[in-house]
Structure 1
């Protein structure tokens, strides 16, 4: 009896020895890298830093991030919703975009009650973004120019009341003496080129205007506004705050894309981005000419259906850009 018991005891000792050796070999040493010694903490989905992967091509390192939103038309709740979708503001409506660039393509005003609140919001975000190393860019829409020039046909009674009446509203919009007029004049341009790859304007940029160059266009607009020349050619139908020729495919898609390519060549950019022509029937960003032209006015305000969409441009290290549409339901390549 003693011999079998000794054999069993010896077998147990051998099993315990091999188990201990196996478990100890799976524990990393203190000299191991931090990535192997402890798991990385995942970013929660509601964090501004979180970005759901779209595809393997979206896993590269990006030098910069640009987001753009279209017409807002005095609807503060929808404005806050679309800026949160863009991940550039937090729950307290403060800048959370870090070094991102936010471009808004005009028509903040008219058709709703929240004019003051939205312009003040962008003014605050402009300052906060600059402190964080980011940027907020605003371009004139036709409705900004209309209000500066006294064309008030789309102003709501709630809007007038928020200023304290019609006369006080008129005083506020004066570019030389009014608090809002001066804010707009000091911070808005008629067009913007982002790092040489994308041109933003409210309406469509026609080749005839593009050949003048961005600096000339912005100078012409500022001069016309300062001198109250709201009948200047740059503010007329073919100018970059009113034209819809590309969005309406005037002359057909082939002719439209030919003209789009003329603009791209004249300005040395890869794509044109416009607002102005609401895509409220689809609620989606319009993209034609192989992504060379896009319309980002999707009808964000409830007046046009309350659709949310953000254009996102990721500037890659190799000089290319990855372009996406952000919707409440997800992120899509465009």
Structure 2
């Protein structure tokens, strides 16, 4: 073969080899870039504290700029490590896991909000504007009752801060003669049973460094996990029922009571979806038309007689629900249903509901209050 032909053939062969290698090299470069980006992101993440109680609650776990650190628990106080941002430094509450009553009467003022989904800054701003907390984020609502109708978990980046903040308010409210009612929503239930589809990417770092799945960070052996598992799903205060999704006619047909339902939720919240669906009653409570998923009030074909049946069954004037997103606190059916999911989860603003002497008041993000 002539020399020119040989060189030409070699050149074509080399070009083909390079062409085959190019995608591999490019893919490897993209992987390296993604890994570097992820490492850089992880190095900025701070999270915690996480306190596990088995065998002893002697040390708290923290993530400080992507590194796992521990501090000693000193007389019930959790102090964060140096250079770990402004993470919560909670004091433990020996009464945190007490199970509260299902019904309350004679409460003069109530505040309710819902679906915070890890948006800590919006939550704090909203509560400060309406003087539920002071400028140092301590309880300022006196003997009033505050109701959070579920969905603190998932989506947003500061779920743990929200939880420890609510944990603190739980203690402070009771000390002032008031009460915090922290109700379980469908996203609390999802996380507890290991359904982690909506968890913010940030928490993958904590899960990896602590060598626990995200749901196990709030397991039965953790301080926050035990606290959450003591909470109700539904509460009745004066003439108002509070819950996450809504009460359907099926509840009335089943002749369920608040006490029984709340007990079943607490006892079964760690069961898998498959286990829950094997039991007819648990299948209703945890899914479908159950109180944490129901959206019937917002459908155009909703039967107003069904609402009348429900109000009569509970001997109440109204039902307050979250779960179904609105742009504001909204009254339906002459305020017999009040929707309080004001889209706080978007992280931009939000509203709350105030009930004072049977007056329903929209508490807006700038502190303005208007009758509903």
TM-score range, shorter chain: 0.7 to 0.9
Partner of 1:332: 370
Aligned residues: 256
1:67–1:86 CA contact under 8 A, matched in 2: no
* 3-state SS, counterpart of residue 265 of structure 1: helix
Partner of 1:199: 241
Taking the aligned partners of 2:147 and 2:330, their CA distance within structure 1 comes to 17
CA deviations over 1:16-62 (Å, ceiling 9, x no partner):
xxxxxxxxxxxxxxxxxxxxxxxxxxxxxxxxxxxxxxxxxxxxxx9
Partner of 1:21: none
* 3-state SS, counterpart of residue 301 of structure 1: helix
Partner of 2:154: 110
RMSD of aligned residue pairs (Cα, Å): 1.9
Q: Which of these residues, 303, 308, 313, is aligned with residue 355 of structure 2?
A: 313
Taking the aligned partners of 2:197 and 2:211, their CA distance within structure 1 comes to 13
Alignment of 1:1-334 (within 5 A): 64-162=108-206, 164=209, 167=212, 169-174=214-219, 176-186=220-230, 188-195=231-238, 197-210=239-252, 211-225=255-269, 229-231=275-277, 232-233=282-283, 234-249=285-300, 251-252=301-302, 255=303, 257-279=304-326, 283-302=327-346, 306-315=348-357, 321-327=358-364, 328=366, 330-334=368-372
Taking the aligned partners of 1:294 and 1:159, their CA distance within structure 2 comes to 33
Deviation at 1:238, TM superposition (A): 0.5
Taking the aligned partners of 1:185 and 1:199, their CA distance within structure 2 comes to 21
Q: Which stretch shifts more, 283-292 or 207-216?
A: 207-216
Taking the aligned partners of 2:107 and 2:184, their CA distance within structure 1 comes to 28
Partner of 2:95: none
Deviation at 1:165, TM superposition (A): 5.1
TM-score by length of 2: 0.65
Classify 1:94/1:146 alpha carbon distance in 2 versus 1 (closer, same or farther; 3 Å).
same
Classify 1:171/1:265 alpha carbon distance in 2 versus 1 (closer, same or farther; 3 Å).
same
1:202–1:241 CA contact under 8 A, matched in 2: yes
Structure 1 or 2, whichever has the larger Rg, is 1
Deviation at 1:170, TM superposition (A): 3.3
TM-score by length of 1: 0.72
Deviation at 1:80, TM superposition (A): 0.6
